[in-house]
Every structure is written in structure tokens, then in C-alpha cells.
Amino acid sequence: MHIHEYQAKEILARYGVKVPKGRVAFNLKEAEAAAREIGPGPYVIKAQVHAGGRGKGGGIRIASDLSEVGGIARGMFGTRLVTPQTGPQGKPVSRVLVEESVPIARELYVGVTIDGALGGAVVIGCPQGGIEIEEVGARSPEKIHKIIVEPGCGFNSFQGRKLAMAMGLEGSHIGKGAAIAWALERAFRENDCSLAEINPLVLTFRGDLVALDAKIDIDDNALYRHPDILALRDVEQEDPRDVEASKLNLNFVNLSGNIGCIVNGAGLGMATLDILRYYGGEPANFLDAGAGGSKELIQNAFTVLNSDPKIKGILINMFGGITRCDSYAQGIVDAIREKPLAVPLVVRMEGTNVELGRKILAESGLNIISASSMKEAAQKIIELVQEKSK
């Protein structure tokens, strides 16, 4: 789950990370009140959306004094901010962060994430930060310094000092940098994050290290342990299909293709996406319906897929185990009889009672195409989608 910048900063501040003085505003009156509370300008007005690259899209503006705050905020509220990470549709702006302007001597980067190749959490530091950090990593990978967090030892102060020095900090700034890296790792661990980063972490002319921007992503599977963080969710920033799927307890990831997929297992789902791509198809989603073959479960999956206009066909790939193939087949038939599909449907099943399941589909009288293998299923749905697209 993503949260907004101001929410991430509130979390980091609880761990001792210094952040600029500021306040979130949900309307023009609140934005002007926040500026007056901060004191004399200049101010930074930042659109709060779940996407990076806001500066390039005009989502971060400077107001030299209080008289400019209202005009800048008015130009943000109610718009859709388009950045390199949002796509052309952009993200809606319903809140802005009004902050004091911080004098910057240097910009740095520090973050914590999961490194799949290393199999654990890593604390990352870079002597350069800001909007071009991805380009720095690609162009000068030697500037990216990683420290693995050993589960039994944690992230120690000497590792923080080592990272701070690798980031180019000197003298008393080394201890300050180490403290921020330690605090960030602790926030990452205690809040079950998948990512926690400060970019940029700025060194001011007064010698302070300040989190000028912050991003925190939470592992969805751990949200039951953090009801306070779950309450921060902003569904307005999410794809409506993702929101609907979460309400229906479906594991859903939207993709860019035109073939909708319904499976009952993550591994089977990944294999389904792979075989579609292998034979030239373009998956539109990953949708794991989980166990159970009820009409309601299948209808819920169809509801999510039918809301996506780019889907031109659906492939159901199910393995019958505890929930038998005949239960899945009956659920599919009942769901379509109650609400017919407007796109071709191919069903591949294997496992317990598979022959009975195929018989139910064949005798239903519905336009359901059955396939006996994943290869056949993939090729059939791709062919049907191609015909429909002509």
C-alpha cells in the first residue's frame, strides 16, 4: 500500500528524522492557514499524489510569499497531475502539502528496500539525490552503496557510519547521517515496509540533515498488524479495479494486455501469464480468485474484469484440489447464466473430478470453450481475441 509524502514524513518524524515544517491542506483556506502557521516565506507547495516525478509535472511549486500560496494551491486542487510515473491519465490532486522552503547545500539519497537477489533487506545510500536518482544508478552504479541487514544482528551504528561516509558526509555530519539511516531502517522494519526512502535527504547551510521528500510503501500482507497505517489509505489514488478487487478479497494486478485471466493460485497465475506471452498473447491482469468454486466467487472475478474495456477475451485456468473441478465448472456456468459475458471465454481445468467438470461445461449450452491443456487454452483464447479485434 502506498501512502502520501506528508504521511510518510509523519511516520519518520516519530523515529527522530528531521522534516521541514509544514502541514497538509485539503482546500484553499487550509493551504493559506498552513502558510501563515509556518511563518514568513518562501514556501513550497507540493501536490500529494502516489507518484514520483512531481517536479517535472508541475506538482512542486515555490511561493515567494503568502500572497502567492493561494494562487498556486488553487491551480493544483481538482486537477490531474501527469508525471513520468502516472501515465497520460495522471493522478487526481485533492490535497497539497505546504512547507517551509529549506536552503539546500547538498542533496543525498538514503533508502531501505528488499533486494530479491540478496534475499533480504538492504540499506542504500548515494552521495547524489533528487529527481535524477534513477539515472545516477544506471549511469554511475559505483555511487550506489548497499549494506545488507543481517536478520540476527540488525542494522548497527557502525554500518550507519560506514554508509554516511560512503555518501560523502564528513565530520559531525557522519553521526547525523548514521542516525538517519538507522532510524529509516527501524521505521522500515517496525512498519512492515517494502520500501522506505528519503529522496532527497538534504544537508542545509546550517549543517542539518533534513528529509526534504519521503516515500513509504507498506506490505499489503502485513496491514492487519497496522490498522493505523491502513487508515491512511487513499483509494482515490488507486485504480478502481484494484479497489473493487480488494473489497471482494481477490488478489488482482492490472496489466496492459487484452486477455483477462482468472486462476486459483499464484504459481498457476504466473505460469498462465508466461504461456500467454509465449504464444503471442497479452495478459490484461493477474487475478487469483483463491479457493472455492461458488457462483459468487466467479461473478466477483467477472465483475472486476468486465469493468476493464481493454479486455477482449477471458481465460480461466483452474486446478481442482480441495475445491473440485466440477465445483468450479458449476460456479462458472451459474455465473454466466445469471450475467452473460460479452467476450469469448476459454476454460482449462485439471485435477480432481476434471472429467465431470468438463461435462458440466459441455452440457451447459453456453458459449464456453473448453481446453484440455494450457497450451491449447492459450492458443484458443489468443485466436479468438485476434478474430474479435479484426
Q: Please confirm, yes or no, whether 132 is among the known catalytic residues.
A: no
What residue type is assigned to position 268 of the chain?
L
Q: How far apart are CA 54 and CA 49, in angstroms?
A: 8
Q: Are strands 285-288 and 145-148 parallel, antiparallel or unpaired?
A: unpaired
Q: Judge whether 319 and 328 are in contact, CB under 8 Å.
A: no
Verify whether residue 278 is a known catalytic residue: no
CA angle, residues 59, 62, 63, in degrees to nearest 5: 125
- Provide the grid cell at 244: 473493487
C-alpha cell at 233: 489509505
Is there a contact between 260 and 344 (Cβ–Cβ < 8 Å)? Answer: no
Which residues make Cβ contacts (< 8 Å) with residue 52, sequence separation at least 6? 83, 84, 85, 131, 215
What separation in angstroms does the CA of 307 have from each of 69, 164, 230? 39, 49, 25
Cβ 262 vs Cβ 305: under 8 Å: yes
Compute and round to an integer the Cα radius of gyration of the chain.
25
Q: How many Å apart are CA 332 and CA 302, to the nearest integer?
A: 10
> Which sign does the torsion angle of CA 345, 351, 354, 355 carry?
positive
Task: Pick the catalytic residue from 15, 109, 185, 328.
Answer: 109
User: Any idea what DSSP says for residue 385?
Assistant: H
Does the N-terminal peptide bond of residue 200 adopt cis geometry, omega within 30 degrees of 0? yes
Q: Which of 5, 107, 185, 197 is catalytic?
A: 197
Q: How far apart are CA 263 and CA 286, in angstroms?
A: 8
Question: Which parts of 106-264 fold into alpha helices (H)?
Answer: 133-139, 157-166, 172-190, 227-230, 240-247
Cα separations in angstroms, 300 against 235, 320, 344: 19, 19, 18
Rounded Cα distance between 133 and 243, Å, is: 31
Which residues does the annotation mark as catalytic?
109, 197
